[in-house]
Structure 1
């Protein structure tokens, strides 16, 4: 533990919001997020923002008043020094719930929760692509909103079903765990840049 703590930039408290882009309770991306949480340093204050009740983006609805679920999402992002999005990949792209959440979070542009905020992307899939195409699309959307997306290390977990313990339901793979540690340390450094 002492060696691990030394690798982080400082012991300064950082507020981090995490988002799982899959709504399924037992999703592989939820398992990846759980594995990541176990490696988060003590100086991170972590809050999870949920996408379950966010309605489809609609400018007419926004004009009347921002829905409560969207207000919660935006506040969670705005309180954060950094945001980690763990996203699955559907049909070679990002899930609609992720794009919808980012569209809400970035609107109106003058009050965007994405602009000039540090982000990191991760994802897991049973397939061989490791959510690379999904993460590429999320990165595009965040970049368009002037967010600071960590360039690497990439967290692309392929073949995740084979790395999940059937008895415990947990993602258990030493190579992935080591990479998660590098990812978390890199994001701590990335947040400190901004």
Structure 2
């Protein structure tokens, strides 16, 4: 079985982000044939603007994001919920990856969305909005890959998600669904 590279984009820029911790737990629980790479520089990418998206002049952070996404087999968006929707940093990454129109790094890229949030539903609104945005941008949205962990600020106040048995089981389910999607796409 060949290695599958999953690029994780974390929508929270906060140093003690529960979504960053969730991404770390996902990377730690990846099967042997999966490499999870967490992209660390979403906060350094300027807001998308066609005036600066010029060949040879694309900001370095945006170019690095595009290169990482192009090299990945699958994208995994790990998102908190900001005012009922996806955070600006993650939406901005989607915008950069959607260009050039019809040929961006998202075009046809299998993409899953997971996350955790303080509220009782675990950020499902933000996850739905992220799925909508990446789908419109041309990604192949993996609708069956879901993980929404509610009550993140309390639940992970003293326990890292990698040490939460229920979350680890849900992460394993994410990888099963990713593998099923990969197998179905190859058929």
Normalised by the length of structure 1, the TM-score is 0.87
Q: 1:179 aligns with which of 166, 170, 179?
A: 170
**TM-superposition CA deviations, 1:12-45 (whole Å, max 9, x none):** 2112111111111210101111111111011123
Task: Identify unmatched segments of 5+ residues in structure 1.
Answer: 1-10
Number of the residue aligned with 1:117: 109
Count residues with an aligned counterpart.
182
Q: CA deviation at 1:111?
A: 3.0
Deviation at 1:47, TM superposition (A): 2.3
Moved over 6 A (4+): none
Q: Contact (CA 8 Å) 2:9, 2:90: kept in 1 or not?
A: no
Cα distance, 1:143 vs structure 2? 1.0
Change (3 A) 1:96 1:165: closer
1:90 and 1:109 mapped to 2: Cα distance? 27
My pick for the range that moved more, 151-160 or 71-80, is 151-160
Pairwise CA RMSD of aligned residues? 1.6
Aligned pair partner of 2:155 in 144, 154, 163: 163
String of CA shifts for 1:125-168, please: whole Å, max 9, x gaps.
121121111111111111112211111242011012332252xx
1-structure distance, mates of 2:45, 2:99 = 14
Greater displacement, 170-179 / 122-131:
170-179
Equivalent pair of 1:125/1:158 in contact (CA under 8 Å): yes
SS at match of 1:152: coil
1:21 matched to 2:21? The reply is no
Indicate yes or no: 2:27 matched with 1:37: yes
The answer on whether the counterparts of 1:89 and 1:133 sit within 8 Å (CA) in structure 2 is yes
TM-score in terms of structure 2 length? 0.90
- Once the two structures are superposed, what CA deviation does each residue of 1:59-101 show, in whole Å capped at 9, x if it has no partner? 1111372111111101111111101110010000000111111
In 2, Cα distance between equivalents of 1:176 and 1:170: 10
**Which region of structure 1 is more displaced relative to structure 2, 94-103 or 169-178?**
169-178
Instruction: Report if aligned partners of 2:94, 2:133 keep a CA contact under 8 Å in 1.
Output: yes
Aligned to 2:180: 189
- Distance (whole Å) between structure 2 residues aligned to residue 120 and residue 72 of structure 1: 20
CA distance in 2 between partners of 1:24 and 1:191 (Å)? 32
Greater alpha carbon shift after TM alignment, 134-143 vs 44-53: 44-53
